[in-house]
Structure 1
């Protein structure tokens, strides 16, 4: 099976080769190995980022760049410009009034935050999109965005640059998105594989898959290292600060009900997302207690500091006025013929 072709509407979702029909015959380790091999293959190409986005990421590295040049570049891609404007209009960035013009949006967010916003827009347009696993992709996108903001709050108590932490948080689970795109590309008339038995292998493979995607996009090597180590923190006997920050940030999103698998009812939740049951056993996409303690120690965070980070995270969640992914998923389940459940907390 190959990826989308340039003349097809979904071009940009990536190219790969994997035989989904054989997955049901493999045990967990063999499944994990098969997924990792897919991303390591010379024939794998991640979803192609918009050309304007990659140019903007490079241009925004120049502290002397004029907003006029950035605005001119963004105007070449109406969809990307619309996404950037949408993010700038969000409650988190537009607290002092509405934003109408693109130039006004760029001025509001500033050059430092622009890289993260452009990448967020690019991920929305090209990565967190799957007709086969729509519900999971939407939840994953919300989880990654929450982790990005919480990682920024964590970084304020460390030497890590805020926007580096934000970008790593945004990309930390991109390997899951990449795997879902691979599994969902089964061809017309075929059903994508059910995820219930695949989640342990997806969890095991996604750090390496994500690191590979970040490398192929040409993003900084340190970012790829951190994405690949966000569930272990330690790289070659050393604790990686950026990986530690995102490990903690991801754990803290569970307190906002924005973990990939709901923290409150994960073991008992019987609902389905886009036909794929939530994992009912084990904790998917979570780090163990020892790793979390190692991450905290690597960043030298005290109890009071963690409390301040939690407070900032709760304030962001309120200010962003974003429905929790759990409630959104339940509403979609109700609309699609399942059991309707409440839309809010």
Structure 2
């Protein structure tokens, strides 16, 4: 019997391009708001007036601005105040993460279980990346959550583009196998890192996010955004372990490639202080995210 030929990467990309109307990463309002937020001369009133045209985005902007993280002792009730409190950088991150979350939750998939599992893992990775960023004082300002949320977006895209072969390419085991990406390439003609990075670049997302999507399984790669890549890689490894076991279960931080890169970049705490950092993540941060916050709507 002749083996079935792998589809070409170009064929899979064309499948998504043919469905671009339902797979737009940034809806019209979000795209317009992001363009404004990228302009250093952006007027607060103008940005707020665009955001308010999207009820979900407006609600999330107000909600985030009233979060205790932003010293929200005095409640913010207007979008203009919210934009001022958050700042343009945080608003940009919010626009992208909100739009990506909506797309992930509404993407047309034949296998609904795939959507739920990838969404949960993505949310947990984003949550751990945020925790590590604060705990290690790395200095990111929201982009670590967005990058964590988007890092495995390519897996969803592959499930949309080729549902027939997706299970063979990606059994969703969350094992950190060395042959994971090569199996995807053998079966589908491209891996989820390459496919996700192409889609993100096609949608004109920031280069830092594209690089995380592309290189989160290769954190040792020298790159201008290596610190963010390594942070998400470290969070991804921890979240994958939790996805398999729901608890510590003998987690070996020594196998976490992202943690080793962070250590070389000047953040050794994750390797040096397992009890304080790793146990808190597996028994606290991830356990809380599993209690309902990561459920897909």
Which position in structure 2 is the counterpart of 1:123?
100
Counterpart Cα distance in 2 of 1:43 and 1:307: 44
Which position in structure 2 is the counterpart of 1:229?
215
Which position in structure 1 is the counterpart of 2:156?
177
Counterpart Cα distance in 2 of 1:53 and 1:150: 26
Which position in structure 1 is the counterpart of 2:35?
58
Q: After superposition, what is the alpha-carbon deviation per residue over 1:170-214, rounded to whole angstroms, capped at 9, x for unaligned?
A: 211110121122235xxxxxxxx3743231644871011111111
Q: After superposition, what is the alpha-carbon deviation per residue over 1:110-162, rounded to whole angstroms, capped at 9, x for unaligned?
A: 54432222222211322442342222212322321221232233334365523
Q: Quick check: 1:214 aligned with 2:200?
A: yes
Which position in structure 2 is the counterpart of 1:338?
none
Counterpart Cα distance in 1 of 2:65 and 2:121: 19
Which residue of the other structure, out of 291, 294, 303, is the alignment partner of 2:257? Answer: 291
Which position in structure 2 is the counterpart of 1:263?
245
Residues 69 and 231 from structure 1, CA distance in 2 versus in 1: closer, same or farther, beyond 3 angstroms? same
Which position in structure 2 is the counterpart of 1:78?
55
Counterpart Cα distance in 2 of 1:239 and 1:117: 20
8 Å Cα contact 1:176/1:202 also seen in 2: no
8 Å Cα contact 2:154/2:192 also seen in 1: yes
Counterpart Cα distance in 1 of 2:16 and 2:49: 35
User: After the TM superposition, which of the residue ranges 216-225 and 155-164 deviates more from structure 2?
Assistant: 155-164
8 Å Cα contact 1:60/1:115 also seen in 2: yes
8 Å Cα contact 1:153/1:309 also seen in 2: no
Q: Quick check: 1:199 aligned with 2:185?
A: no
Provide the secondary structure at the position in 1 that maps to 2:168.
coil
Provide the secondary structure at the position in 2 that maps to 1:196.
helix
Which residue of the other structure, out of 166, 169, 181, is the alignment partner of 2:145? Answer: 166
Structure 1 alignment gaps of length 5 or more = 1-23, 185-192, 266-286, 330-345
Larger helix share, 1 or 2: 2
Provide the secondary structure at the position in 1 that maps to 2:167.
coil
Q: Quick check: 1:142 aligned with 2:116?
A: no
Which position in structure 1 is the counterpart of 2:174?
none
Which residue of the other structure, out of 60, 76, 91, is the alignment partner of 1:114? Answer: 91
Q: How many residues align?
A: 267
State TM-score, norm by structure 1.
Answer: 0.60
Residues 306 and 244 from structure 1, CA distance in 2 versus in 1: closer, same or farther, beyond 3 angstroms? farther
Counterpart Cα distance in 2 of 1:209 and 1:305: 36
Deviation (angstroms), 1:215: 0.9
Counterpart Cα distance in 2 of 1:61 and 1:239: 19
Residues 57 and 117 from structure 1, CA distance in 2 versus in 1: closer, same or farther, beyond 3 angstroms? same
8 Å Cα contact 1:94/1:108 also seen in 2: no
Structure 2 alignment gaps of length 5 or more = 172-182, 248-252
Q: Quick check: 1:36 aligned with 2:9?
A: yes
8 Å Cα contact 2:125/2:149 also seen in 1: yes
Q: After superposition, what is the alpha-carbon deviation per residue over 1:4-27, rounded to whole angstroms, capped at 9, x for unaligned?
A: xxxxxxxxxxxxxxxxxxxx953x
Q: Quick check: 1:155 aligned with 2:133?
A: yes
8 Å Cα contact 1:211/1:228 also seen in 2: yes
Residues 124 and 88 from structure 1, CA distance in 2 versus in 1: closer, same or farther, beyond 3 angstroms? farther
State TM-score, norm by structure 2.
Answer: 0.68
Q: Quick check: 1:246 aligned with 2:232?
A: yes
